A and B are shown apart, each in its own frame.
Chain A
């Protein structure tokens, strides 16, 4: 069961177009919302009058600044909503926006992250970390690499935009919302509305992607709830694609200065990084220094992270926030250092392997990174062959990068398992499946524990009124948090079945177990499960399960390595990624079919980050220029290389009863650096900015050529 490919349980409903997303919710009498977005990067509403809009055809309510939290007169970034109209049709609501009488005061925006840090305009206090003696580490190094790196602002672009439908029922409210965190919405909306939490019901059975951006309550939900209250009608609010790409969150841009030093034998003596994160007006400081602090055993490390507060839309978590940006620079610098000291890049990584947590010395709950490195060897050995396939135009090469990230999950999370007289099981938990396939994984876990097949298990999820608390689908935590809860609920149900069976068949409980739809006794007897459950008639066996704590005194992380093969057209700067090999250790693998999809999906998103995606802002006005999917270029099917997936698949025996870690984020972490290292291997070009556009490649090729002319001895790819 567990460990074998299982197609997803909701696949057919999705493929047939029957799955009902928030976008598809149509309630009788439902109104539609249009938002008035600020056209300026920084402005203040001097005066506003919504009366004419309110009187327009079809309009049932209009609200302006101050009506709810987050709808304020101070609009600190472009796209910020200052007013909203609810009408019978979306066209009517949008037409009414034009009638809002508004007087904007345009103010001077702050758009430059470096200037913001200098002026102390920060979203959070700067974070400083130091271990060992940084200066001594520098002094002990025989070679030091010190480089600047940049990463761009990225938009999540979930296919389903942020949207919700609110309907008041008596003194409570039903919320249909495209969310990664049903229980977070319930908690925070209840707080905002001053309601007991059980008066807020949050429903999300199917959702069209989130990638970190849909983890909580935003102003559009609050204003929708308010419009529904004012009108007594169900109200929908759906961001347009353009609004989505302005205000629904982003992966913040970074400017990084990274230093690495090693002895001649390749031992790291020092790692350092200064990271400026352009967070926008709000958000939090992501762990950009995380990889530098955690990935390698290095005694002397110093990092500082700044979070610039700017008149740009706020960042939001985006699939391994911080680690994606920080791994890009660290793993590029490491390869340059390997070249300087003349140590093979894979050897250098093994040489500086952290056998215990690099920050505090805690043992790992499990760490299969060395096994990943070992499995990388046969692929890495192909590099000479790959390079030899270069010709006049296309230069080929190979690169690698390591991955480290969280993904252990944790308590609290709960699940119930219901076993009926027909011998079928029902897993009940109010979690969400954001597309990662956790619904299917839960069914597999329950089926394994109960000795059933997957098609004998239903999974009820997506409704806070119909199941217990479940964790946010973020931080690669759904599976490692929910899976153990489901397993313990199923085990609880199994124990009850065995209790009954022991009485019925006069066997000791310890001899009995559930296998293949039967109750099996180790002394030889076997009875169909239905012989026991059939006795229940209308009765049910109810199993309860909770996620236990993570192991104390241990560090729980995920690991991996990716290798990329590229071909670079040195005339036009075109890069073709021909192959990516992804080897990851995330503990026990529940559904290899779904796991492969997660790896491929992460790598493909990383390819967009690496080559074609960038939010471009006008440097003068702070206007977001790339709001549409023709100008913000996510990968298409034609951009995908051959992807080889390899999972270590060793249970983490210390972690939980399941031994599994999360896999949503790890695959996106190392791809960009592996590709940049492959480009350097192929051409000598040292790319330092994401995305690696044609202009960035051509610049790096020019610089490499200049270096070659200057230093004929160091000719060839460094």
Chain B
């Protein structure tokens, strides 16, 4: 295996052009490489190439979750989502750009069951153990998106700038389809550089988890009022971060037998989140 350490976005993009894997904090990529879930013979350490830090409403994709957690300029929902994510060491290492791209924690996927996301024809979680899985968007794959910050950024209406385009955060994600199992719209070699985060009048993040710290969201509820408009987004609810049109939209949830409780939790947390705005 080889490793390159470019020092500019252009160099990084050039290095990534031929199928290399980008490595930032390493908290996700390194374990996936070891488990053979992410094949790579060339790594590009993009830490020196991707912008880092907060400038006005722009967040460099290389900014760590620990840095965001402590930054008073960041909207409360994102700060809290970072604060309640992962463990202190993982927040020190993990970047916001990488966090948005993390793979599902679905144990079947991680143990390489020939599931839908791995190119198979079914979701093993549905007939198996799925208490940490989805209650929306789970027609094919029942995995739950693990990112707390992604839900916060979705509620805030953040935009993403890559080396080649700008898009809404919502546009970064897609539900897997019959012919394409990807859960992001990122192209091969495309690199997230910055996030544009609107100022929020008020925002909040509430998270239900199995431990008080260092657990993925059973349900994460982000709510933000931006320009007079209120948006709600959920973590741990669907294979991608999930925008909830209104509290009533929970009636349209499609829980599995083992995730019905998550809908109950969301029914409790969404009104609390809205009430605190």
Contact = CB atoms under 8 A, between A and B. Distances in A.
Task: Please determine if A and B sit in direct contact within the complex, based on CB atoms under 8 angstroms apart.
Answer: yes
A635 B211 contact: yes
A119 to B, nearest CB: 23
B218 to A, nearest CB: 6
Contacts of A620: 124, 127-128
B165 interface: no
A508 interface: no
B210 A633 contact: yes
A28 interface: no
A626 B107 contact: yes
Interface in A690-708: 693-695, 698-699
A626 B110 CA distance: 10
A572 interface: yes
B129 A611 contact: no
A572 B269 contact: yes
Contacts of A574: 208
A633 B107 contact: no
B174 interface: no
B268 A633 contact: no
* SS class, residues of chain A in contact with chain B: loop
B212 A638 contact: yes
Interface in A576-618: 611-612, 616-618
A115 to B, nearest CB: 18
A631 B261 contact: no
A630 interface: yes
Nearest to B127: A620
B205 interface: no
B36 to A, nearest CB: 10
B258 interface: yes
B129 A625 contact: yes
Contact of A639 (B129, B212, B261, B267): B212
Contact of A636 (B108, B131, B213): B213
B111 interface: yes
Contact of A619 (B128, B208, B213, B261): B128
Interface in A615-651: 616-620, 623, 625-628, 630-631, 633, 635-639
A216 interface: no
A573 interface: yes
Given A618-B129, A620-B128, A625-B111, A694 B261 contact: yes
By size class, the interface of chain A is 20 to 34
A707 to B, nearest CB: 18
A693 B129 CA distance: 14
A571 interface: yes
A694 B265 contact: yes
Contacts of A637: 213
B102 to A, nearest CB: 12
Interface string B124-167: 10011101000000000000000000000000000000000000
Contacts of A630: 105, 216
B265 A572 contact: yes
Interface residues of B, number: 29
Contacts of B218: 694
B211 A619 contact: no
Interface in B255-275: 258, 260-261, 264-265, 267-269, 272
Interface string B103-125: 00101101101000000000010
B123 to A, nearest CB: 13
B210 A698 contact: no
Given A618-B128, A620-B128, A698-B264, A636 B214 contact: yes
Interface in B169-206: none
B109 to A, nearest CB: 11
B135 to A, nearest CB: 12
A661 B195 CA distance: 61
Nearest to B106: A625
B210 A612 contact: yes
A636 B208 contact: no
Interface in A449-506: none
Nearest to A576: B212
A572 B208 contact: yes
Most buried by B among A626, A695, A698: A695
A249 to B, nearest CB: 21
Contact of A638 (B211, B267, B272): B211
B253 interface: no
Nearest to B206: A572
Contacts of B211: 611-612, 633, 635-636, 638-639
Nearest to B124: A618
A698 B131 CA distance: 14
Given A619-B128, A620-B127, A631-B107, A695 B261 contact: yes
A612 B210 CA distance: 6
B215 interface: yes
A92 to B, nearest CB: 15
Interface string B70-105: 000000000000000000000000000000000001
A638 B213 contact: yes
A159 to B, nearest CB: 15
Nearest to A619: B128
Contacts of B269: 571-572
B115 to A, nearest CB: 12
Contacts of A619: 127-129
Interface in B205-232: 208, 210-216, 218
B155 to A, nearest CB: 19
Nearest to A699: B261
B268 A572 contact: yes
Nearest to A631: B107
Interface in B1-47: none
Nearest to A626: B107
Most buried by A among B113, B212, B216, B272: B212
Contacts of A626: 107
A711 to B, nearest CB: 24
Given A618-B124, A619-B129, A625-B129, A633 B265 contact: no
Contacts of A638: 211-214
A483 B137 CA distance: 62
Contacts of A625: 107-108, 111, 128-129
A695 B131 contact: yes
A571 B270 CA distance: 11
Nearest to B214: A636
A663 B129 CA distance: 37
A516 B256 CA distance: 70
A636 B268 CA distance: 25
A628 B128 CA distance: 18
Contacts of B264: 572-573, 698
B73 to A, nearest CB: 26
Nearest to A618: B128
Contacts of A693: 131, 210
Nearest to B261: A695
A612 B272 CA distance: 24
Contacts of A639: 211-213
Contact of A573 (B107, B129, B215, B265): B265
A140 B260 CA distance: 43
A243 to B, nearest CB: 13
B18 to A, nearest CB: 25
A699 B108 CA distance: 26
B124 A698 contact: no
Contacts of B261: 573, 694-695, 698-699
A520 B261 CA distance: 72
Given A618-B124, A633-B215, 16 more contacts: A571-B267, A571-B272, A572-B269, A573-B265, A612-B211, A616-B107, A625-B111, A631-B107, A633-B211, A635-B211, A636-B213, A639-B211, A639-B212, A693-B210, A694-B265, A695-B260
Interface of B: 105, 107-108, 110-111, 113, 124, 127-129, 131, 208, 210-216, 218, 258, 260-261, 264-265, 267-269, 272
Cβ-closest 4 pairs across A and B: A571-B268, A695-B261, A638-B213, A638-B212
9 contacts: A572-B265, A611-B210, A619-B128, A631-B107, A638-B211, A638-B213, A639-B213, A693-B131, A698-B264
